[in-house]
Chains A and B, each alone.
Chain A
Amino acid sequence: NAGVMQNPRHLVRRRGQEARLRCSPMKGHSHVYWYRQLPEEGLKFMVYLQKENIIDESGMPKERFSAEFPKEGPSILRIQQVVRGDSAAYFCASSPWDRGPPSFGQGTRLTVV
């Protein structure tokens, strides 16, 4: 049973480009979360999604960031017009029910140059 799969593991983008981060939840998990982690810091909540619905996006920056979890396919975190401050590790997690303990992927490390 594969765990949460994130790709790419590492992503380098120039300022102004778009970054697309993908997350395939564990089989049978319909709840997906995205977190951001800066070096030497904890994880900061960004967004909580269920299939085709955004449940809580209170941690998402108001501009340039968007997330989706379509009926088919992986969840996508999209960052438009990236800036240096977007450089961070982005983690996806999934759980089988709304208060189930999430399992995390290995993260995507985004570097903006």
Chain B
Amino acid sequence: GQQLNQSPQSMFIQEGEDVSMNCTSSSIFNTWLWYKQDPGEGPVLLIALYKAGELTSNGRLTAQFGITRKDSFLNISASIPSDVGIYFCAGHLMEYGNKLVFGAGTILRVKS
């Protein structure tokens, strides 16, 4: 079946550092979405990407939709303690209609 590979699995960084995580797949995606999930809560949408090559920012977050439509990255600049959580990439697969598939998540921990 289709796979979404998200890396790294976890990160432990110093407050103020920049963070980068990415997702890759062997399949082509129509959209790429990045969500954040806090403990005990549902995922919250951070950034949505719709076009190959698109680069979008939301405050300290920047994400890009890869040119090949098979990958995406998320950068967080100047991390702060409230950035702690699990970050998921997700995408609508071109050949699977509107099924939204998720990566396994990147656990972000910040040292203050």
Contact = CB atoms under 8 A, between A and B. Distances in A.
Interface size bucket, B side? 20 to 34
Interface string A28-41: 00010101000001
Given A101-B33, A101-B48, A105-B42, A58 B102 contact: no
Contact residues of B: prevailing secondary structure: strand
Interface stretch (B12-20, B65-73, B91-99): B91-99
Given A101-B45, A103-B45, A104-B43, A48 B98 contact: yes
Interface of B: 6, 30-31, 33, 35, 40-45, 48, 88, 90, 92, 97-105
Interface of A: 4, 31, 33, 35, 41-45, 48, 55-56, 58-59, 91, 93, 98-99, 101-107
